[in-house]
Amino acid sequence: NAGVTQTPKFRVLKTGQSMTLLCAQDMNHEYMYWYRQDPGMGLRLIHYSVGEGTTAKGEVPDGYNVSRLKKQNFLLGLESAAPSQTSVYFCASTGGDRGLGQPQHFGDGTRLSIL
């Protein structure tokens, strides 16, 4: 039962470097989400997707880009990493009617440090 798988699990970057975080789900879910979790704060939505080929901005989208080329994959990109993007990043997915009333299922996160 893989569920939601995130890679890599840990990464250290220097300011200005770029990288892509990968999220893969095997539950045939339409809806996928990227969150960041910082100490003392709740999970905050970065971007989300309601289906293959579609993406939308969440609460804190600046500095990030996303792509959903395949239904099972959702990529989060940092074009020019900044120390403020040091965080733990979680991917989630859900199904059902527009995801309404359905729980989101989470991966185990990517711990990203920007030096």
Of the listed pieces 13-21, 61-69, 74-82, 96-104, which binds another protein according to CB under 8 A? 96-104
CA distance 78 to 55: 16
**CB of residue 41 vs another protein: minimum separation in angstroms?**
6
CA distance 96 to 80: 35
Q: Which is nearer to another protein, 17 or 43 (CB)?
A: 43
**CB of residue 115 vs another protein: minimum separation in angstroms?**
21
| CB contact at 8 A, 76 and 60 | no
Q: Which is nearer to another protein, 12 or 82 (CB)?
A: 12
CA distance 37 to 43: 5
Using the rule CB under 8 A, is 14 a contact of another protein?
no
Q: Which residues pair with 47 in a beta bridge?
A: 34, 57
C-beta neighbour count of 51 within 10 angstroms? 12
> Which residues contact another protein by CB under 8 A?
4, 31, 40-45, 48, 50, 56-58, 90, 92, 94, 98-109
